[in-house]
Chain A
Amino acid sequence: MVDMSSSESLVSEDTKIDGTVGNCFSDDAKMSMRNVNVYYDNNQAIQDVSIDLARNKVTALIGPSGCGKSTFLRCMNRMNDTIDICRVEGQFTLDGEDIYAKSMDPVLLRARVGMVFQKPNPFPKSIYENVAYGPKIHGLASSKAELDEIVITSLQKAGLFKEVKDRLDSPGTGLSGGQQQRLCIARSIAVSPEVILMDEPASALDPIATAVIEELIDELKEKFTIAIVTHSMQQAARISQTTAYFHMGQLVEMGETTQIFTNPQHKLTENYITGRFG
């Protein structure tokens, strides 16, 4: 993760934009974020971002390195709570509920809003144990048979079951990179979240594994709402329906993916997508 404590504030006077271009909001929003500001100590990392995640759609967050997209993603399941120097302001709602309210337990939130990380990080346990961990701690299964079913279904949904069905007890860390990432996806699916946040899930994988993951994401959107941070514009173009372009902590433009990639409205977006800078 980027160490923000020593960098300068992303947002400064000469990089301010005049408001977001395009359509950031949706009629059928699963999660809504309004006027979000995020600070690391005295450095501002995110400035006044308002955005909706449309239900059962894939929303891609793109932008140059260090533009704040990962930080923003992590706010949506309160992972930034674990960082002492990080301060989050603004309104975050999940189906209308304020997720930063005192009454919202972050543990419960993270069961509803799952996360897949850039580097696959399976637990050093067996494949079965990896997937079963979430349901176990949240008490989702009342018997071993139920737990088995959850594990098998999740592995199937993640497209991994066929490959590992005869070695569910072997360690999760013994799988290849792509398989490990699918295992991590199965692990997040197992707790039946409503939203899945993905932070560059395929950046550590080879092209074939990447293609498999992308196919999987496309299938997953039928059941889940997905937000994905990615460095690869082609990936964003391939798998998302909506794309948001972040620049220096601000949301510059957001809109339908096809439109962003054929005719972006803001010059900064155009420059980024065509490789003019950043």
Chain B
Amino acid sequence: MIDSKNITTIVTASLQRRHKKERRFKLLGRSAVAFGFMLVFILIADITYKAIPAFHQHWVAIDVSYKEDWLSIKDDQPDSLKTANFRKVLKQSIYEMYPTVQGRKDKRALTKIISSNAEFTLRDHLLESPSLIGKKETFWLLLDDDADTYLKNAKVLGEAELRTSQKQATWLKELTDNGRIEKRFNIEFFTNGDSREAELAGIKGALIGTIITMLVTLSLSFPLGVAAALYLEEFAPKNRWTDIIEVNINNLAAVPSIIFGLLGLAVIINIFGLPRSAPLVGGIVLTLMTLPTIIIASRASIKAVPPSIREAAYGIGASKVQTTFGHVLPMAMPGILTGTIIGMAQALGETAPLLMIGMVAFIVDIPTSITDSATVMPVQIFLWADSPERAFLAKTSAAILVLLSFLFVMNTAAALLRKKFENR
């Protein structure tokens, strides 16, 4: 037996070493966390910097003359207005502003400064106020993305750049000097669907598509996953079959997501004949992907409910179902929600399986139901990343920011929900 005096000396000797180890470990931990934060910060900062240009766009004020002979209309009726020749109105109005410009090539270059959507904007405007027929007004139109990019990035205003010729540069400078150029917040980014024209491209379609797909995924995977976990943990007999099922579920969680996409394509689309690229199909595929995560997390948290609670409920005379749904499930909710959040967050960012089921298609219209063709944010980002226009670069980054904030909002909401259950 070591007497107490010796112990003190022995322990004191090792004490310094132990404290040093502890301090080292703490330092290591702290620096790892700091490093991680720093990387995240750099990433966000970089994306934000790249995304900033996407949030404002330049508009130009054009003196538009709604001359009847340009419009080539028979009467004032809306039907004929709809089919009027607004392109001519636009072009002629611009030529009027720059009478010195001659030659087809130059004229085309001049028109190219304005967004190709402008004629439709004019049409909608005239349909709203048909009294403008025959009159002239100064109207703001969106610039083409090349012109917009030039105005954002030109080193010296007035000198030619990559996609802007000298003449165009001069015109833009003139317009700027004359106060006809205005920078506005790009609300269209959030209100337009996708477009080949960079200045018109918006994420609304992809955002709605994501929301619908996520809703489908959530409404399928959450009840199924939780019910499966409850059944496996509480009701199923413990035999070899349930062991096999458990092994399989664990394995499914590790399957590459693109396999689920192939499954969706082969079975759900080909055999069941559901529409390609629909949020319904996307939702089903993502459900298959998320189910293992939810089931595994739910099972763990159901297992963690102390048996004393179940015993207490049985002791009062609660049936098995009452005990499970009235006591075990609410107690396991925080853990289940955590699993669901993880699963949903994974599903939110999935691209490969959705590409497989056809969401790579170019979708312009905003989807309104679960069977409409749609795309999702990650796919949209993927598509835009492919495009060469510089404006798309900014838009890609902006879309990434939107996706991240969506994720953040989702996580916060779920964390609040989980806290609410924990405090009960």
Q: Is B31 an interface residue (CB 8 A)?
A: no
Selecting from A55-63, A119-127, A224-232, the interface stretch reads: A119-127
Q: With A123-B327, A124-B331 given, is the CB distance from A117 to B312 under 8 Å?
A: yes
- Our pick among B238, B311, B317, B322 for the contact of A121 (Cβ within 8 Å) is B311
Residues of chain A in range 234-276 having any CB-CB distance to chain B below 8 Å: none
Decide if B317 touches A107 in the complex (CB within 8 Å): yes
Task: Convert A85-122 into 0s and 1s, putting 1 for each residue whose CB lies closer than 8 angstroms to a CB of B.
Answer: 00000000000000000000001111100111101011
Q: With A79-B311, A117-B308, A119-B308 given, is the CB distance from A124 to B317 under 8 Å?
A: no
Q: With A124-B331, A137-B322 given, is the CB distance from A114 to B315 under 8 Å?
A: yes
Task: Convert B315-327 into 0s and 1s, putting 1 for each residue whose CB lies closer than 8 angstroms to a CB of A.
Answer: 1111100100011
Decide if B314 touches A137 in the complex (CB within 8 Å): no
Q: Which residue of A lies closest to B327 (CB)?
A: A123
- Which residues of chain A are near B310, meaning CB under 8 Å? 82
- Our pick among A114, A119, A137, A184 for the contact of B318 (Cβ within 8 Å) is A137
CB distance from A102 to the nearest CB of B (A): 16
Q: With A119-B308, A121-B308 given, is the CB distance from A111 to B316 under 8 Å?
A: yes
Q: Which residue of A lies closest to B322 (CB)?
A: A137
Number of interface residues of A (CB under 8 A): 28
Decide if A125 touches B317 in the complex (CB within 8 Å): no
- Which residues of chain A are near B267, meaning CB under 8 Å? none
Task: Convert A36-80 into 0s and 1s, putting 1 for each residue whose CB lies closer than 8 angstroms to a CB of B.
Answer: 000000000000000000000000000000000000000001010
- Our pick among B314, B316, B424 for the contact of A125 (Cβ within 8 Å) is B424
- Which residues of chain A are near B309, meaning CB under 8 Å? 121, 123-124
Interface residues on B, range: 20 to 34
Q: Which residue of A lies closest to B318 (CB)?
A: A137
- Which residues of chain B are near A184, meaning CB under 8 Å? 312
Q: In the assembly, what is the distance between CA of A111 and CA of B314, in Å?
A: 9
- Our pick among B308, B317, B327 for the contact of A111 (Cβ within 8 Å) is B317
- Which residues of chain B are near A147, meaning CB under 8 Å? none
Q: In the assembly, what is the distance between CA of A133 and CA of B317, in Å?
A: 10
Q: In the assembly, what is the distance between CA of A110 and CA of B314, in Å?
A: 7
Decide if A117 touches B315 in the complex (CB within 8 Å): yes
Chain B positions near chain A (C-beta within 8 angstroms)? 237-238, 306, 308-319, 322, 326-327, 330-331, 424
